[in-house]
Amino acid sequence: MEKKPLVKVKGIGVSFGATRALDDVDFEFYPGEILALVGANGAGKSTLIKVICGYYQNYEGEIIVGDEPQTFTCPKDAYDVGIQTVHQIINQGVVPNMTVAENLALKQLLSPEQPLFYSHEKLKEQARPIAQRMNLDYLDLDAQLSEIGQSDRQMISIARALSSNPNLLILDEPTSSLSEKEADRLFQTLFRLRDEGVSIVYVSHRLHEITRLADRVGVLRDGKVAGILKAPFSVKEMVTAMVGEVNRNPVTGVSDRVNKKVVKLELRDVVIQEGHKPINLKLYEGEIVGLTGLIGAGKSELAQLLYGDEELISGEIFLDGKPYNPKNIKDAIRQGVYMVPEDRNNNAVIPDFSIRHNLNIPFLDFFSSRLGIMKNLKEKKESLRIVKSMGIKCASESAPIESLSGGNQQKVMVGRWFLKDYNLFILDEPFQGVDVRSRIEIGAYLRENIGTNCALLIATDLDEVIEVADRIVVMNHGVLVGEQLAGNIERDKLLHWTAQTVEEVAAQE
């Protein structure tokens, strides 16, 4: 007997002013199936999700749950018919100033039956099985959510979504902040839910995940359905359907722009965390070094140290042959060390600002007179230069930053630092939630414009560093365990270094 879809969307269309975000989109979501939704940034994935979950009400077409057409006036209406969504921006799905238990049992906490003065112990009893379903037993239920990391916040959002036993579960970039081990745990849960008859919509730019997970792939391109792929399918098929034939230019060898005679940055016996072994590393003039390893390996801690956000415990750092030990972030920027942080939405994008003001914010003194008056023509000229050179798709440089897709926002976050010359450019997970085309364009721009400077590109995804870096260095448990040059990459060896245990890392030393 043929399965009937749990949810159908028919003829969905959405416009924002003159921009057509979705145009006549049809999808059917079946019980016991994982449908991956893919597309370049700006293809319409997030808009479609927000229509289905009741966030947007002004749309053409219809949503049918079971056999009943639905009109959602708010997200709760979608929730009430069994549609549960975990959005890409982690902090939109959790409450940082509440405890882990309160976040896990938020549904129970907000129930009309919950007394004004509730029992914390009873709430923890309600939260415990929700945590256990995602193997989150190790979390302190009394801890403030603001005190725990991004990956645990993501897992809490997903655990709470699963606790409502949804008919349709929508996950938007659920592994963007998860380690490989955490992602694997999530996948096993999704397989179990699929077997139980849940319909799952899985949105991700990590296409290799999708080949493992999905039964079908729905492809959006420029707001329209570009195709439906059925398993088995390849990454190449998905990329071609998403963006056409992309000219991917992986690094085939160390570029001749790398000057091995000039050390731009040097770390000598640097300890990034108490109890960790010292690190020794050199970055050369014109070189892009890819730093990879699992979440928690120490990559971001090293970035924060170099960017003046953490104090040097011991060891020495040299920049252009001179001692470098920034007092704070402002001091690091003054010395030409710039960084694109991992969490774009919370630590980089200024939501209420325009594209131009987001670009220019680090260098306001460059655009102001001695009297503090902004030089608007200079500001506009430089902004237009970056918008054009980085291929940022926007109505104008004065448009709100939030009018851009995720990939174009990331281009702004990278491009802002090219307004002035630098010594070291640190990019911490710069391709999270960024489509293939934008990723290639950002990498190409970095390679073409690095000049005599150097860059440290930090990414957990091996494909991302292989595409961009002249040299790849692997960090594991705070230790640099191996490196390879572009053109001589052995993926199996890189994966082995990444997956080593603490004991294996110690033995290797």
State which of 172-176, 314-318, 413-417 shows the largest mean pLDDT.
314-318
> 196-206, pLDDT tens digit by residue?
898 999 998 77
Give the residue numbers spanning the domain of 498.
261-508
Average pLDDT for 347-371: 81
Q: How far is CA 235 from the centre of its chain?
A: 19
Read off the pLDDT band of 248 (50, 70, 90): low
Residue 435 one-letter amino acid:
D
Q: How does strand 322-323 pair with strand 314-319? A: antiparallel
Q: How far is CA 124 from CA 139, 285, 310, 313, in A?
A: 12, 54, 35, 38
Per-residue confidence (pLDDT) for residue 290, from 0 to 100: 94
Residues 6+ apart with CB under 8 A from 248: 436, 440, 467
Q: How far is CA 105 from CA 114, 123, 130, 155, 376, in A?
A: 11, 7, 8, 14, 50
Q: Looking at per-residue confidence, does 181 or 138 come out higher?
A: 138
Residue 1 resides in a domain: no
Read off the pLDDT band of 250 (50, 70, 90): low
Residue 250 resides in a domain: no
Q: Looking at per-residue confidence, does 406 or 2 come out higher?
A: 406
> 45-57, pLDDT tens digit by residue?
889 999 999 999 9
Domain boundary (181, 213, 243) is at 243
Residue 42 resides in a domain: yes
142 shares its domain with 221: yes
Beta bridge partners of 428: 458
Q: Looking at per-residue confidence, does 245 or 195 come out higher?
A: 195
Q: Which two tokens stand for residue 225?
A: 């359905």
Other beta carbons less than 10 A from residue 218's beta carbon:
25
Find, among 202, 242, 214, 204, the residue nearest to 406 by Cα.
Answer: 204
224 shares its domain with 314: no
Q: What is the CA angle 106-112-113, rounded to 5? A: 95
Residue 239 one-letter amino acid:
V
Model pTM score:
0.61
Q: How far is CA 453 from the centre of its chain?
A: 26
Per-residue confidence (pLDDT) for residue 372, from 0 to 100: 67
Read off the pLDDT band of 246 (50, 70, 90): very low
275 shares its domain with 232: no
The dihedral built from the CA positions of residue 341, 395, 207 and 183, taken in this order, carries a sign that is positive
309 shares its domain with 452: yes
Find, among 231, 134, 137, the residue nearest to 192 by Cα.
Answer: 134
Q: How far apart are CA 447 and CA 287, in angstroms?
A: 9
Residue 56 resides in a domain: yes
Q: How far is CA 44 from the centre of its chain?
A: 17
Output DSSP code: residue 354: B
Environment class of residue 312 by beta-carbon count within 10 Å: exposed (0-12), middle (13-18) or buried (19+)? Answer: middle
Residue 254 resides in a domain: no
SS3 3: coil
Residues 6+ apart with CB under 8 A from 256: none
Find, among 202, 204, 180, 178, the residue nearest to 191 by Cα.
Answer: 202
Q: How far apart are CA 131 and CA 120, in angstroms?
A: 16
Residue 189 one-letter amino acid:
T
| Alpha carbons within 13 A on the beta-carbon side of 229 | 23
269-278, 338-347, 370-379, 391-400, range with the lowest pLDDT: 370-379
- Is 97 within 8 Å of 112 (Cβ atoms)? no
The CATH number assigned to the domain holding 14 equals 3.40.50.300
pLDDT of residue 245 exceeding 60, the answer is: no
Q: What percent of the chain clears pLDDT 90, i.e. is strictly above it?
A: 33
Mean pLDDT (the chain) is 86
358 shares its domain with 441: yes
Average pLDDT for 71-85: 90
Environment class of residue 225 by beta-carbon count within 10 Å: exposed (0-12), middle (13-18) or buried (19+)? Answer: buried
389 shares its domain with 294: yes
Per-residue confidence (pLDDT) for residue 348, from 0 to 100: 84
Output DSSP code: residue 353: S
Domain count, the chain: 2
> 419-467, pLDDT tens digit by residue?
888 999 999 988 876 777 778 888 888 998 899 999 999 987 787 888 8
Residue 481 resides in a domain: yes
108 shares its domain with 169: yes
419 shares its domain with 483: yes
11 shares its domain with 134: yes
Residue 248 resides in a domain: no
Residue 264 one-letter amino acid:
K
SS3 316: strand
Beta strands per DSSP E along 436-495: 454-458, 471-476, 479-485
418 shares its domain with 458: yes
Q: How far apart are CA 231 and CA 209, in angstroms?
A: 13
314 shares its domain with 451: yes
State which of 321-325, 477-481, 494-498 shows the largest mean pLDDT.
321-325
- Is 106 within 8 Å of 147 (Cβ atoms)? no
- Is 40 within 8 Å of 55 (Cβ atoms)? no
pLDDT of residue 12 exceeding 70, the answer is: yes
- Is 398 within 8 Å of 354 (Cβ atoms)? yes
Q: What percent of the chain clears pLDDT 70, i.e. is strictly above it?
A: 94
Q: How far apart are CA 191 and CA 219, in angstroms?
A: 22
Per-residue confidence (pLDDT) for residue 217, from 0 to 100: 95
Average pLDDT for 380-404: 86
Domain boundary (196, 215, 243) is at 243
353 shares its domain with 266: yes
Residue 44 resides in a domain: yes
> 129-164, pLDDT tens digit by residue?
888 887 788 888 988 888 887 778 888 888 888 888
